[in-house]
Structure 1
Amino acid sequence: MSTTSSSQQMSARMKFFFSRIFPLIFVAVGASVAFFGIRGLVRAKASVEWPAAQGRIARSVVERHYSSSNGRSSTTYHAAILYEFSVHGATFNGTRVAYGDYGSSDPSHAREIVNRYPEGKAVTVHYMPGNPEECVLEPGLKAQSWFMPAFGLIFFAAGILMAIYIPKAMAKQQNAEPDSQGDAAKRTS
């Protein structure tokens, strides 16, 4: 008898996890990613109006990042650009080329950025008024700027839909189970 109640209790825990916690994880992750993505969009749009300063590329290389999971490995290539610039006599460093910068398994994108910004090149740096650490070489919205907010909103919406439909599906299945057990009992008698 304790085995039955233990398995029923485990089943109730699993139902709670899949109907409430699992969707909540999607909602939380989606909301966080969407928040930072939308903040990036707002800054990207505003960056075209930011003041500019002259700077110089201090470092420009393609970096490789290796990762492995489940016996499979992958390589991602990023353009690692470091630039220096001065605002009111204070020197600042920046690494952002454009909002929405991304790495890829194809090194050609990273190489193209590194070729565009070779070490020693003079550049125009756009910086946020009052916060020069927030800076960018290519101001404005780019196609890749939309990836993070879109990804976050999709995750958020998936979590909301799961929170609505998983409990309904579980309730429907639970209501169907007593009927199927009753039908089985009728067949055995």
Structure 2
Amino acid sequence: MLTSIQTLTYTMSKLFFPLFISIFFAVGFGMLGYGINSAKKSVEVSNWPSVTGTITNMSLRESSDSDGTTYGVEVEYRYSVMGRTYTGSRLAFGYISSSGRQAHQDILNKLESASSVKVRYSPQNPATSTLSFGIHRSIKFVLAFAITWLAFVFGFTLIWWIASQPDDVLLKNLEVTLKR
């Protein structure tokens, strides 16, 4: 028979784990949503109108912390649509910095060698613009990470659920002779 403390502990563990693990599911689905949304927007850009733009500023951003160093290209450009001048700073939807310096250096080198750039802008809002499009490495990384994260969290949840179940099969099929 369970004591009141054991009952309380059992009840709390039954409530705590679902609340605790739901945070990890929320993070995973949030990352997945971000990746899917970025992919959708980045593919849509291929159908946006384009104009010639001028780069006004660019650099390779380097950020270091205890986990290492990440790199990302920062770019600013100017373009005109129907006589109105806009400025933009989006390289691509979903583009994020990463530890692979060379990939970002290659992007910067291409931009540095350009006399002008093709700027794609939203037909609904010309102030929304980007220089590149498609399912690029940053989007693939976020999607792969989110799927891996969710698989791990799902697996961990499944293991917890199995461990929390009584072993009825073992008990049912355990044949014993009772003591007299």
TM-score range, shorter chain: 0.7 to 0.9
Q: For 1:21 and 1:76, how far apart are their aligned partners in 2? A: 33
Which among 122, 125, 135 is matched to residue 119 of structure 2?
125
Specify the SS of the correspondent of 1:75. Answer: strand
- Give the TM-score normalised by the residue count of structure 2: 0.76
**Structure with higher RCO (Cα < 8 A, 6+ apart):** 1
Q: Report the AA paired with residue 77 of structure 1.
A: Y
Q: Which moved more, 1:56-65 or 1:129-138?
A: 129-138
Distance apart, 1:29 and its partner CA: 1.0
User: Equivalent residue for 2:107?
Assistant: 113
Alignment RMSD (CA, Å): 3.0
Q: Report the AA paired with residue 144 of structure 1.
A: S
Q: For 1:15 and 1:85, how far apart are their aligned partners in 2? A: 58
**CA 1:6 to 1:84, structure 2 compared with 1: closer, same or farther past 3 Å?**
farther
- Identical counterparts, % of pairs: 28
Quick check: which one's strand share is greater?
1
Distance apart, 1:136 and its partner CA: 1.7
User: Equivalent residue for 2:59?
Assistant: 61
User: Equivalent residue for 1:48?
Assistant: 46
User: Equivalent residue for 2:15?
Assistant: 16
Q: Report the AA paired with residue 159 of structure 1.
A: V
Verify the 8 A CA contact 1:77 1:104 in the aligned structure 2: yes
User: Equivalent residue for 1:182?
Assistant: none
User: Equivalent residue for 1:82?
Assistant: 76
**CA 1:17 to 1:90, structure 2 compared with 1: closer, same or farther past 3 Å?**
farther
Q: Report the AA paired with residue 52 of structure 1.
A: S
Quick check: which one's helix share is greater?
1
User: Equivalent residue for 1:95?
Assistant: 89
- What does 1:137-156 align with in structure 2 at a 5 Å threshold? 137-156=131-150
Query: How many residues are paired up?
Result: 169
Distance apart, 1:64 and its partner CA: 1.4
Deviations 1:108-157 (A, max 9, x none): 22222111112983111011221234322122222432222332233334
Which runs of 5 or more residues in structure 2 are unaligned? 169-180
Which runs of 5 or more residues in structure 1 are unaligned? 176-189
Q: Which moved more, 1:148-157 or 1:9-18?
A: 9-18
